[in-house]
Amino acid sequence: MSRVNDVGGQSGFGPLEIEADEPPFHADWEARVYALNTALVRSGVYTLDEFRDAVERMAPAEYLAASYYERWLHAIETLVAERKVLGDG
């Protein structure tokens, strides 16, 4: 499906914001989100493709307003809820 993430060739996103000497993560929580996602994929809770799908299923306005790792967090929360891995549906 054509989803909000599929931006190749679109116009209107403005100039690039290039940060000099950018660190790997901008906040501890971003690093925690990265680690959680890696652990959940490696543990087989979901696949990387299912993760990408969950990011893409975000409502377009929400996707565009969210930061990169906020999208990841949203997708992890979505999949954890759908897989009922916390036992509470």
Partner 1 sequence: MGEPQAAFAAGQRVRVRAVDPVGHTRVPRYIRGHTGRVVEAQGRWPLADDRAAGAAEPRVETVYTVAFPARELWGGDGAHEVTVDLWESYLDRAAEDRA
Partner 2 sequence: MSGEHASSTVAVRVRRLEERLIEAGVVGDDQLDAILTGVLNGASPVNGARIVARAWTDAGFRERLLADANAALPEVGLSMAGGIQEQRLKVVENTAEQHNVLVCTLCSCYPIGLLGPSPSWYKSEAYRSRVVRDPRSVLAEFGLTLGDGVRITVWDSSAESRYMVLPRRPDGTDDLGEEALARLVTREGLIGTAAV
- What is residue 52's DSSP assignment? H
**Binding string to partner 2 for residues 3 to 32, with x set by CB under 8 A, is what?**
--xxxxxxx-xxxxxxx--x-xxxxxx-xx
CA-to-CA distance for 84 and 81, rounded, in angstroms?
5
Q: Which of residues 21-60 bind partner 1 (CB under 8 A)?
A: 47, 49-50, 52-53, 56
**What is the nearest approach in angstroms of partner 2 to the Cβ of residue 21?**
10
CB closer to partner 1, 16 vs 20: 16
Q: Which does 65 bind (CB under 5 to 8 A by kind): partner 2, partner 1, none?
A: none
CB-CB neighbours of 84 under 10 Å? 9
* CA angle at 55 for the pair 14 and 2, rounded to the nearest 5°: 70
